[in-house]
Structure 1
Amino acid sequence: MSKSTVYMWPKASPDNKYSELLTKSIEQAGLHVEHYDKETVLKPGSGDIVHMHWPSNSYQHASGLALTVLKSLFFALLLLYYRIRGVRLFWTVHNIWPHSGRTRWDYIMRKYILTVCHRAFVLSESVKQEVSGVFGISPRKLVVTPHGHYVGAYPGTGTDIRRKFGIAPDRFLFLFVGRINPYKGVDRLVEAFASLNLEHCSLLIAGRVDKGYSLDFIDAYNSDGAISVYPQFVGDDELADYLQAADRVVLPYNQITTSGSAILALSHHKPVIAPNLGALGEYVTGECGILYDPEDPNGLRNALRKSLDMDMKQTEKQIEAKLRELDWSRIAGKMIPIYSGTKLHEVKA
């Protein structure tokens, strides 16, 4: 295994730090990792590892079905070529379906990828069960290795976010940060927060708004000015500043597989309020935050109110314990033997 090269696909991404942090931990464990792209496509040989993360970019084409079919055929043959050469193939299933939506072609290609790969990594037990059920893949082929933490990954700029938005230091601040679209549930959050009418609390919503989605509805709930809105992209260098300003991070999603936002919040020692969906129940455990029933019309409202009374000393201990579970070196230490096929070992989130 020491002579094998891991071709990380990709080794780093401007949109997600996962593969960069995973790569660093694998390199620290002694393996050589190269970035996989069109320049290295013919380099993997017998005993090497190709580790995919977001394969939909490799089989989808924006110009229509005909070109998608041709691109998919090339991709499928490439993976088969790797298998014939003795390359070991792996896929981390970050999302069961692409963000662009589910199609029949996605089902065909993703099932093929799962079939041709030696193993697939999933980020939670719930995702393992869903992938197995949806694609008819044996659970034994799916290995649970949790999403690592983001401690130190986003250092921040030192900007005082409360001062920037005129939020007093003594006000209790709920924060939503990230891309804003219908499935993120910001409308429910605004309604639930406003219904509590808490004089000492504020809500900050920050993130780029998807085209065609409007936040104009917030005006009707914001007569007292307790809700601040920053409808702009929050860069990686600013994320820590926003999280530092918050007392609680709220993720009122309508649907979710694995939330990097929840892990990011915990990495900055912020309790998370979220629905009990997808893998959230395996990451926001104990007193790391409050999970609510997404089917309960008052679930989010009650969770916001309940979060005001959390025992922060106990919560800090729970978050620290969770971050130890999500240590990257621990995750790499379990993943590397699976690369080599020496054993199958799962790590619980």
Structure 2
Amino acid sequence: MTPRVRVLEVLEPPDGTTRYADQLVEPLPDHVEVVWFTWRRALREKYDVLHVHWPEWLVRTRPSTLPRRVATRLAFVALLLRLRLTRTAIVRTEHNPEPHEPGGRTERALLRWLDRRTTLRVHLNPLPGGEGPHDVVIPLGHYRAQLGGHPISARVPGLLVYFGKIRDYKGVDLLLDAFAQARAGLTLRVVGNPQTPQWRALVEDAAREDPRIGHVLEFVADDTLVGEVTAAELAVLPYRDLHNSAVVLVALSLDTPVLVPSTPVTRGLAQEVGPGWVHFFEGTLDTADLHRAVDDLRAAPPVGRPQLDARAWDVIGASYARAFEAAARSAHHPGAATNHPESVQIA
């Protein structure tokens, strides 16, 4: 009989919309029990694995007042001490090399401590130098099952779409600047929740000046999202830096080609999904990049659907279950290799 593994997930719990949390936990086998993070649960209940995604969540507060910061950081210290005493494993899924918004000196010191205490790191892409004894690779999954039941729109020639949260590193300002000089026949939709009033004002001002720009500046339901993305000829993600992105996979899951920055990760994705689905820009997005991507897409439209079989969530769920099991064993037996072939084999 497979031993039961209890995992405390440091994520916002499912809320009825399509979220990464749902996709991560739904395909897990029955012997893996998932509970959602609260400080009370983290400091009082028993669990085998703490699964961390964006570790800055554990040390930042909203609102960021001094008393709240101090209380949260003291709780963080207590948590790491408790995990050490109870030999509880820490699994870290490395979504990004660094936080999107940098923190201060104290935060960086606390997160370095968490890094030193981490039992197993899950990487979403292969490491350039190969994986070490405490690393495994489990890619992000696709969204076909979650979004495939919603009605799709007819494609609108020349329609570009940006969707997702609007925050600094995602480069929506660069897209608006590039689109301002775009040729006739192109239109733009910006769909997503601005993370600051300044971002909202930027998009609204651009739309007032250019009637070709439309927007929905809020978190949208799945049916609205599917309608917006499938109407577009091309999804444009003008990120200043792109290491991993669920947004890219949402677009590809809905058979919408994407324009993304050229990085080793996006180049690898292009090879994985097949020709014509992933288009690139170098450096900072500009108007010529928009024109070139549309022209290339029309000259050689992709055939069939993007190849995403390796990102099926049942495969990913089984891989995470093996990773949790291996990490829990390793925490109780320090020195054991967490990704030994007999303990965890990542598909």
Length-normalised TM-score, structure 1:
0.77
The one of the two structures with greater contact order (alpha-carbon pairs below 8 A, sep at least 6) is 2
Alignment match, 1:7: 8
CA distance in 2, matches of 1:346, 1:299: 41
Alignment CA distance shift 1:278-1:74 (3 Å): farther
Q: Is the CA contact (8 Å cut-off) linking 1:90 and 1:118 kept in structure 2?
A: yes
Alignment match, 2:309: 324
Alignment CA distance shift 1:80-1:203 (3 Å): same
Q: Secondary structure at the match of 2:225?
A: helix
RMSD of Structure 2 on Structure 1 (CA)? 3.3
Alignment match, 1:269: 255
Q: Does residue 80 in structure 1 map to residue 81 in structure 2?
A: yes
Superposed displacement of residue 119, structure 1: 0.8
Alignment match, 1:291: 280
Which 4+ stretches in 1 moved above 6 angstroms? none
Deviates more, 1:293-302 or 1:325-334: 293-302
Superposed displacement of residue 295, structure 1: 4.8
Q: Is the CA contact (8 Å cut-off) linking 1:156 and 1:240 kept in structure 2?
A: no
Percent identity of the aligned residues? 23
Q: Does residue 343 in structure 1 map to residue 334 in structure 2?
A: no
CA distance in 1, matches of 2:217, 2:292: 26
Q: How does 1:88-99 map to 2 (within 5 A)?
A: 88-99=89-100
Q: How does 1:177-216 map to 2 (within 5 A)?
A: 177-193=163-179, 195-199=181-185, 201-209=186-194, 210-213=196-199, 214-215=202-203, 216=205
Alignment match, 2:119: 118
Q: Secondary structure at the match of 1:26?
A: coil
Alignment CA distance shift 1:338-1:302 (3 Å): same
Alignment match, 2:27: 25
Q: Secondary structure at the match of 2:84?
A: helix
Q: Is the CA contact (8 Å cut-off) linking 1:123 and 1:144 kept in structure 2?
A: yes
Superposed displacement of residue 34, structure 1: 2.7
Alignment match, 2:142: 149
Superposed displacement of residue 97, structure 1: 3.8
Q: Is the CA contact (8 Å cut-off) linking 1:122 and 1:142 kept in structure 2?
A: yes
Give unmatched runs, 5+ long, in structure 1.
133-137, 163-168
Deviation string for 1:237-264 (max 9, x for gaps)? 4211212212221111122332111011
Q: Is the CA contact (8 Å cut-off) linking 1:22 and 1:328 kept in structure 2?
A: yes
Superposed displacement of residue 339, structure 1: 1.9
Deviation string for 1:44-68 (max 9, x for gaps)? 25xx222122332322244445653
Q: Secondary structure at the match of 2:242?
A: coil
Q: Does residue 308 in structure 1 map to residue 284 in structure 2?
A: no
CA distance in 2, matches of 1:71, 1:182: 25
Q: Secondary structure at the match of 1:171?
A: coil
Give unmatched runs, 5+ long, in structure 2.
327-337
Q: Is the CA contact (8 Å cut-off) linking 1:196 and 1:301 kept in structure 2?
A: yes
Aligned pairs, number: 321
Deviation string for 1:205-227 (max 9, x for gaps)? 2233431131323555x3xx443
CA distance in 2, matches of 1:27, 1:244: 33
Superposed displacement of residue 25, structure 1: 1.2
CA distance in 1, matches of 2:134, 2:18: 25
Alignment match, 1:54: 54
Length-normalised TM-score, structure 2:
0.78
